[in-house]
Amino acid sequence: MTDLSVLKVFVGADGRGGNPLGVFLEGHEIPGARRQAIAKELNFSETVFVDDAASGRLQIFTPAAELPFAGHPLVGTAWLLKQEGYAVEAVNPPAGEVQVRFDSETTWIRARPEWSPLIKFVQYDSPSAVDALEGAPDGVGFAYCWAWEDESAGRVRVRVFVPEHNIHEDEATGSGAVAFASHVGRAVTVNQGVGSLLVTELHEDGSVSVGGEVALVETRAYTG
């Protein structure tokens, strides 16, 4: 038995939105062969198993597959490690070291856009056209559907559909925001899902930071 922390990551105004995330801070107690089945059972868009809290070494699983990198799991796990008293400067998924920083209520990670999965960016004429979508357009496996809310201010309306990972709609997609900011070549503020909020920054070395607020939903014993 080990504890499972359930978080919401990239929480928006008035506590709206936020992508649910499961984190096992004592993931080393769970054999690697069981992790995919547990992620499928929990059915969060991602579940994190922390193998070494001091170094931030971890694995990330969707219900269907392991990921080398994902944004909202790393933001959420970094926040949780800090809450538990760890001096967090980086987390270490299989993709490589991801720098972390904390700014008021915002937790930031800095990553390479090429670590993000292959994403198809589909632009629409208006936020209302994005809101009207019922699923991935044309069955695209990882569809980042977006429209400008205010182009001069860099605000975009986004919905993301990931049928290839058995995720009909992802509430907040940090890896998508990293890749998208690189794609449009500017910092953007992303209004995603039912109310999630993601902010980005571009850096001269080509890396992108994505940040947002995190909230703890519950910590419960997991007996599996």
Query: Which residue out of 26, 46, 164, 204 is catalytically annotated?
Result: 46
CB-based contact 136:113 (threshold 8 Å): no
The 3-class SS string of 63-106 reads CCCEECCCHHHHHHHHHHHHHCCCCCCEEECCCCCEEEEEECCE
> What are 67's two structure tokens?
């990921």
Strand partners, 23: 5, 48
DSSP 182: H
All residues at 6 or more sequence positions from 149 whose CB lies less than 8 Å from its CB, including other chains: 127, 155, 156, 157, 191
What phi and psi, each to the nearest 5 degrees, are found at residue 123? Answer: -90, 140
218 counts as catalytic = no
As annotated, the active-site residues are: 46
